[in-house]
Every structure is written in structure tokens, then in C-alpha cells.
Amino acid sequence: MNITLNTQTALTGDLIIPVVQTDTLAGQLVNLARKLGLSAAVLQRDFDADAKEVLAVYGPNEQKTYLLGLGANPQEMDWLRVFRKFFFDQKSKLPVQLSIDLTAFDGNAIEGVVLGVRGGDYDLKLYQTDKAEGPVFFSDAGKLTLQVTTEQQTVAHEALIRAEAISQTQRQMLDLMNAPASHKNPQTLADWTVASGAQYGYTVTILDKAELERQKLGALLSVSQGSDVPPVLIIAEYIPEGIDNPRKVGLVGKGVTFDTGGVSIKSSASMHLMKSDMGGAAAVLGTVEVAAKLKLPIHIIGIVPATENSTDGRSTKPGDVVTAYSGKTIEVIDTDAEGRVILADGLGYMVRNYQPDVLIDLATLTGNVIAALGYHAAGMFTQNDDLAAQLTQAANQTGEHVWRLPLWDVYREDIKSDVADLKNYSGKPIAGAISAAKFLEVFSEKHPAWAHLDIAGMAFADTEFGSQKNATGFGIRLLIAYLQMVVSKTRE
Ligand code: BES
Ligand code: MN
Ligand code: ZN
């Protein structure tokens, strides 16, 4: 399906008119009714413009028009959700050509609309063999026209390009996240990154197991020990062309392609969901790709320690002590607290070899952050108030919410070890997301602009796509919005 902008009034195919719920809704509907050649009373009786409400009406010349409710005061995420739901629900009934009338809105609505429309085509049936042919609207023949005013055109054009770039990358990340361990392992992530780097012009380096041993990434290696598939460290570096001294942002993402818990094995009830334990990796790799596509004037290094956390005779055992890349020793109290252990090496490698101006890690790190914040915000940890403010602003803009939790030093007590430099688990069922963050802080080497985002509740969640939790693509839009903020701040 092809999306184009149009500033002419002649529209073809069915028409969608988004409607915001305001005090003047009745008046809006009178105008709409006049435009469509319908009775105002009909529209007013059946349509309240609640979010996701749909009213289909036929005009005198049999043109079909959908009024699509946006609720009151819609933000980018509301546009996205409303359009995604509409297209997901209606896709099999849609004709090959469709227009959306956006002339009443500012160009900024475009991004949510495009991400929503594209998202509506996603399906989880990756491995079904009797798949019906897809809907005609989403086939190559499909055409979507976004009707905008001439004043909106420039903003709309940029928003369209950005949204297309993000949704195309995000969809691949959804597929990687939703893929089970039978269909992905650390090498799958490495292969994807190598191909992406070649396509979009950024450098990818893969450290294989032998190289990890040579360079002593002992923490990452210890987690992978019980698995048949070897670990890798993925390094993706995007350097913008023609920019003197661009800001350097380091992103580190947890890439556990399956988390059984290891010897401290998880109970089976929801273990199958642990194919999603690479949500941080998806956010980081996706962000580097989008940044390269959009040619953002910023230097980005993405590092992903990737491994499976399995259990066999060679597995790390509770009580084992391992030496991380930084030289610090870790007492592994619980092998299911593996994310922080591999991130110790991801962060350590980043800090020692790249010295970024800003360092952000993302990880599906703790069940405890879900206990604290549920499925509505990622836990954000940082000692840097400016960074916290910027990430919060990017989160509010995109609707990928974050909420700050403390990093007070009293929590450091929880991970003091009797025998090693620190231990990976407090042994107490309290403040688990915070003690995990305190653990990571040690390996950020007191970086002045480090933030950790615990995205355990956000990366994999309930969606309209299926009955089980599935991938959300969380983090890419947030990080791209943040990076764009960094860019505009440097220009000031
Ligand atoms: N990958 C899990 C965290 C997780 C839980 C992500 C639920 C998404 C949904 C992580 O590796 C883990 O197992 N954490 C343990 C840590 C504990 C043993 C200290 C947890 O949260 O229970
Ligand atoms: Mn675990
Ligand atoms: Zn995990």
C-alpha cells in the first residue's frame, strides 16, 4: 500500500474523517453533514466522537464515509491507537483506495496516523501455513491519500517520511520479538544488524564467542554457558556525514533471546513469554536503523549483549563468582537475574571503548517494575535531572511513558556481597527494580549522563493483535524523539 499527500479537493475512494470530541461537536457535525449531503440529526444522534468510535455513512452519490472518533484532546499515541484499531478491524472490508481528511488538523497528526495505519496491517500469524491472502487495501495495489492543506504540506511531508521509516523498522522488531526461541538466537540478531548496517550505511561489528573469551567479557559468557547457542556482542555504530563533533550517544540493550531463568529456573506458567526478553535489544537496534535512515546529525553507538539463558550441566550455578569485562567480580545469587549480568559487560564495553556523552540502557529487566508501574510506564533511573527531564518530555510527546524511580545509595546495601565486589540479587522480594538499577550503575562507572529504562512491562503487552501478550515495539519512538531533541538543542 502506498501513502501519498494530496492538497487538492478531489478525493477518490472511501473517505475517513477523524473527529475530536470538543464542546462544539454538535456544530462540527452540522458542517460535516452539509459537506456530505446528509442530515445533521442523523450524525448527531449516532456519533459522540469517543476514542475509536466509528460511524459509517453513505452520501447521495453512494460515497462511503467513516467518521472516526478520537476522544477529547488526542495526543500522538491516541491518533496511533485509534487508527491502528480502525485499520486492524476494518482491513478486510476496505476498498483498494481510501482517503483520510486531515485538513482540520495540524501536520503533527500525520505521524500518529501513518504509524497507526501501517500498524493495523500487523499480524502474528508468522508460522501459520493456511494463511488467507491479505486484504487488498494493504496489497501493492492499495492507495491511501492523506488530504492536507497547502500550509500543512511541509510539516506533513516530513512527518510522513519519519513515520514510514519508523514503522518499517518497528515491524521487523515486532517480528523478532514475537519469534520463539526455535526461530531466533543471538546470531539471528547479529545477522539482522549486519544486513541493516549494509543497507543503511552504518558499521556493524560482531564479537563472537572466541572474541568474547579473548576480550574477557566474563559476565556475558557466564550467562550463556548453559546454552547450546553461542553468545555475541553486537556493536552498531552510526556516524553522521559532514558533521563536526556530533554529540555521541551510547545505547545498550538487553538481548536475551530466551530466558528460562537458568538453574534458578522459572515456573512454567508464563515462561513462554520469555522469548520477549530481548526488548531492550529491539529498541536499541531499531533506533540505530531509524537514525541511519533519517540521517540524524548525531553519532550513535548501539551495543547489544545477546545470549540465551538456559540450563544444563555447564550452567552457571547460584553462588558462582564471575569476573566482568570491567574487572569487577559478581556473585551470582540467582541465575534468573541474568539481564543485569550481561548488561554489566554491555555497559562496561561501551564506557571503556566509546566514552559516549550520554549513556542509556534499556532492558526487560525485572518483574518488580511491573509490580510497581504495571503496563503503563517504563521505570526510569538516572542521577541526571536534565536527562530525566528530556526523556520524560520525549515520553510524553510519543506516549511511550516513563516514570522516574530513585537511585538512592541506601539501596546499594542490598547488593553488597560477602565474597565478591557485588551480588546480582538482594534475596529480598522488595525494591527489585531499584536494586537492579543500582547494580547497573556500578558498571556505568558513574557516567554523569547515564539512564536505565526498565521496560519489562512495556515491551510485551496486550494488544489487539492476539490473545497472548505480544510485542509493542516500545522504545524506538521514544529514543528517536529524544535524539531529535538532542539535535535541536545542539543547534541552539
Ligand atoms: N526477564 C526477566 C524479567 C521479566 C519478568 C521481564 C517479567 C518481563 C516480564 C528477568 O531476567 C528476571 O527473571 N528477573 C527476575 C529477577 C529476580 C530473580 C531478582 C525477576 O524479576 O523476577
Ligand atoms: Mn531472568
Ligand atoms: Zn531476563
| Residues 6 or more apart whose Cβ sits within 8 Å of residue 1 | 121, 137, 138, 139, 140, 142, 143, 144
Say yes or no: CB of residue 424 within 6 Å of ligand 1. Answer: no
Give the count of alpha carbons within 13 A of 320, CB side only. Answer: 21
How far does the centroid of ligand 2 lie from the alpha carbon of residue 208, in Å? 22
How far does the centroid of ligand 2 lie from the alpha carbon of residue 211, in Å? 25
CA of 266, closest atom in ligand 1: 13
Whole-number Å distance between alpha carbons of 176 and 68: 32
Starting from the CA of residue 307, give the closest ligand. 3
Say yes or no: CB of residue 339 within 6 Å of ligand 1. Answer: yes
Nearest to 297 by CA among 249, 245, 246, 251: 246
Say yes or no: CB of residue 366 within 6 Å of ligand 1. Answer: yes
Catalytic one of 52, 143, 266, 295: 266
Say yes or no: CB of residue 456 within 6 Å of ligand 1. Answer: yes
| Angle made by CA atoms 374, 88, 287, in degrees to the nearest 5 | 60
Report if pTM > 0.75.
yes
Say yes or no: CB of residue 335 within 6 Å of ligand 1. Answer: no
Say yes or no: CB of residue 236 within 6 Å of ligand 1. Answer: no
| AA identity, residue 298 | I
Catalytic one of 275, 293, 340, 423: 340
Q: Report the pLDDT value the prediction gives residue 108, as an integer from 0 to 100.
A: 76
Which residue, by CA, sits nearest to atom 7 of ligand 1?
Answer: 367
Which of 258, 266, 334, 366 for mutating ligand 1's site (highest number of atoms within 8 Å of CB)? Answer: 366
Which residue, by CA, sits nearest to atom 3 of ligand 1?
Answer: 366
How far does the centroid of ligand 3 lie from the alpha carbon of residue 448, in Å? 27
CA of 424, closest atom in ligand 1: 19
Give the burial string for 332-360 (b: 16+ CB within 10 Å, else e). bbbbbbbbbbbbbbbbbbbbeeeebebbb
Starting from the CA of residue 454, give the closest ligand. 1
CA of 277, closest atom in ligand 1: 1
Say yes or no: CB of residue 474 within 6 Å of ligand 1. Answer: no
Whole-number Å distance between alpha carbons of 342 and 181: 18
How far does the centroid of ligand 3 lie from the alpha carbon of residue 262, in Å? 10
- Concerning whether 35 is annotated as a catalytic residue, the answer is no
Say yes or no: CB of residue 432 within 6 Å of ligand 1. Answer: yes
> Domain spanning 166-491: which superfamily?
Zn peptidases (3.40.630.10)
Spell out the alpha helix ranges (H) of 318-413. 338-354, 367-373, 385-398
Is the fold of 2-148 the same as that of 166-491? no
Q: Report the pLDDT value the prediction gives residue 454, as an integer from 0 to 100.
A: 99
Residues with CB under 5 A from ligand 2 (ion): 259, 336, 338
In degrees and rounded to multiples of 5, residue 343 shows phi and psi of -70, -25
Q: Report the pLDDT value the prediction gives residue 61, as an integer from 0 to 100.
A: 80
In degrees and rounded to multiples of 5, residue 404 shows phi and psi of -80, 135
- Concerning whether 340 is annotated as a catalytic residue, the answer is yes
Say yes or no: CB of residue 459 within 6 Å of ligand 1. Answer: no
Say yes or no: CB of residue 338 within 6 Å of ligand 1. Answer: yes
In CATH, the number for domain 2-148 is 3.40.220.10
| Residues 6 or more apart whose Cβ sits within 8 Å of residue 220 | 212, 231, 233, 305, 307, 325, 341, 342, 345, 346
Q: Report the pLDDT value the prediction gives residue 330, as an integer from 0 to 100.
A: 99
Q: Report the pLDDT value the prediction gives residue 140, as an integer from 0 to 100.
A: 96
Q: Report the pLDDT value the prediction gives residue 11, as an integer from 0 to 100.
A: 65
Which of 223, 266, 365, 414 for mutating ligand 1's site (highest number of atoms within 8 Å of CB)? Answer: 365
**Domain boundaries along the sequence of the chain:** 2-148, 166-491
Q: What is the pLDDT along the chain (492 residues), one digit of tens a residue?
A: 999 999 987 666 799 999 999 999 999 999 999 988 899 998 999 899 999 999 999 988 888 999 999 999 999 999 999 999 999 999 999 999 999 999 999 877 999 999 999 999 999 998 999 888 889 999 999 999 999 999 999 999 999 999 999 999 999 999 999 999 999 999 999 999 999 999 999 999 999 999 999 999 999 999 999 999 999 999 999 999 999 999 999 999 999 999 999 999 999 999 999 999 999 999 999 999 999 999 999 999 999 999 999 999 999 999 999 999 999 999 999 999 999 999 999 999 999 999 999 999 999 999 999 999 999 999 999 999 999 999 999 999 999 999 999 999 999 999 999 999 999 999 999 999 999 999 999 999 999 999 999 999 999 999 999 999 999 999 999 999 999 999 998 776
Q: Is the separation of the CB atoms in 344 and 424 below 8 Å?
A: no
